[in-house]
Amino acid sequence: MATVEATKANFEELIDGNPFVIVDFWAPWCAPCRAFGPIFEAASEQNPDIVFAKVNTEAETELAAHFQVRSIPTLMIFRDQIILFAQPGSLPRQALDEVIAQVRAVDMDEVRREVAEESEHDHGCCGHDHGDEGHQH
């Protein structure tokens, strides 16, 4: 499967509608991004069950800001709408293959249990006791 362009208009649908999505945040002027492009594309062809999406941070500044992308390329991997991996920097092909294998091996039932437990503890956000002030974010 070839990579798909992710935009503000289709990003939520891509993440919600697919169990496994790898997102490459990049920009056309970024030499490491351009070097990583063929590696990302080749991985997409080797893993047809995974959606490989590219976000042009120049065109999609809101998406980049939402995910706090400060360095490009940045790679994020979502499984069942949960970010399991987020790392700036270009990866060599073997490293990308290893990351994909590790994320494939994750027990998502266990991850969902951990997320549920975190959200039950102390409002599930930041570990602060908000007392009678309420909870604001």
Catalytically active residues, by annotation: 30, 33
Q: Which residues pair with 49 in a beta bridge?
A: none
Distance (Å, rounded) from C-alpha 129 to C-alpha 124? 11
Are the C-beta atoms of residues 52 and 1 closer than 8 Å to each other? Answer: yes
As a residue count, the chain comes to 137
Query: Could you tell me whether strands 74-79 and 4-5 are parallel, antiparallel, or unpaired per DSSP bridges?
Result: unpaired
